[in-house]
Copies of this chain bind each other. A is one copy, B any other.
Amino acid sequence: MRNICVKVSYDGAGFNGFQSQPYGRTVQDEIEKAIKHLTGEDIIIIGSGRTDAGVHAMGQVFNFHTSSTIPTVRWAIALNTRLPKDIVILDAWDVPNIFHSRRSAKRKTYRYSIDLGKFPDVFARSYRFHHPTKLDVVAMAEGLAYLVGRHDFTSFTSIRSTKPHHVRTVYEAYFEREGDALHMYITGNGFLYNMVRVIMGTLLWVGQGKLKPEDMKRILDGKSRALAGPTAMPHGLMLVNVEYGDPYELTEPPSAAVDDEDDE
């Protein structure tokens, strides 16, 4: 059996999330349907993590095992011709059997985007949360800095999170301005359910003056979801990329960078 790793982008607006669900259209179902159509195999793909309904990806990664002999360079084109227009495969390559797109992941980067324009940019309306009133972006950046490092992110995850522990490492987090758009980029070894969205919802309170930047530390230390702000809308969230290091350096079944499922 071959193990094939695939990089995929999708517009989350039309999906009930990445992972198969009893109801609604999902990215996973569409991809598995395309693979079935192409190879005849009933395959279950392994995503690097789940994304919620409405959340986008410019660089989601999944892998799957197949006995198909289709050359690696053909996979992206062959799948794209069988996929709907809101999913685009960007690349595919053979990886060692040991490779697991979720457990082998080393770093993930998410972006949360806000439209600060007086009126929304009609062409970015599915990709940015519109916030036309004034935000203190300097205070937000100060607040965000408290989250960099290894922390227990219990306060910044949904109470629906079922993870055994909530310690994650944020390697890097910063804001970037692009015209009327304000992007927050955050890179970590893994993210808890709704973590980026709760961080952004809390930072919006900082930006609105309802919280001070240093309150982010107090909320982190309090380890209670009740201390943080609301969960920001899903459509501003984008999975930017997933990093793995060299898959050919994997010599034993990889222990997960985090110990459990990773999703947003």
Contacts and interface: CB of A to CB of B under 8 A. Distances in A.
Interface of A: 9-11, 56, 58, 76, 80, 85-90, 119-123, 125, 127
Nearest to A125: B85
Contacts of A88: 119-122, 125
B122 A76 contact: no
A222 to B, nearest CB: 37
A164 to B, nearest CB: 35
B123 A58 contact: yes
B80 A119 contact: yes
A123 B9 CA distance: 9
Nearest to A132: B77
Nearest to A10: B122
23 contacts: A9-B121, A9-B123, A10-B122, A11-B122, A11-B123, A11-B125, A56-B123, A58-B122, A58-B123, A76-B119, A80-B119, A85-B120, A85-B122, A85-B125, A86-B122, A86-B125, A87-B122, A88-B120, A88-B121, A88-B122, A88-B125, A89-B119, A90-B119
For the complex of A and B, the 7 pairs showing the least CB-CB separation, nearest first, are A88-B122, A9-B122, A11-B122, A88-B119, A88-B120, A85-B125, A90-B119
A125 B10 CA distance: 11
A56 B56 CA distance: 23
A56 B9 CA distance: 24
A53 to B, nearest CB: 17
Contacts of A90: 119
Contacts of A85: 120, 122, 125
B123 A127 contact: yes
A51 to B, nearest CB: 14
Nearest to A90: B119
Contacts of A121: 9, 88
A10 B88 CA distance: 25
A119 B90 CA distance: 6
Contacts of A56: 123
A180 to B, nearest CB: 12
A237 to B, nearest CB: 13
A87 B122 CA distance: 7
A79 to B, nearest CB: 10
A140 B11 CA distance: 32
Given A11-B122, A85-B122, A86-B125, 4 more contacts: A9-B123, A11-B125, A86-B122, A123-B127
Contacts of A127: 123
A58 B120 CA distance: 11
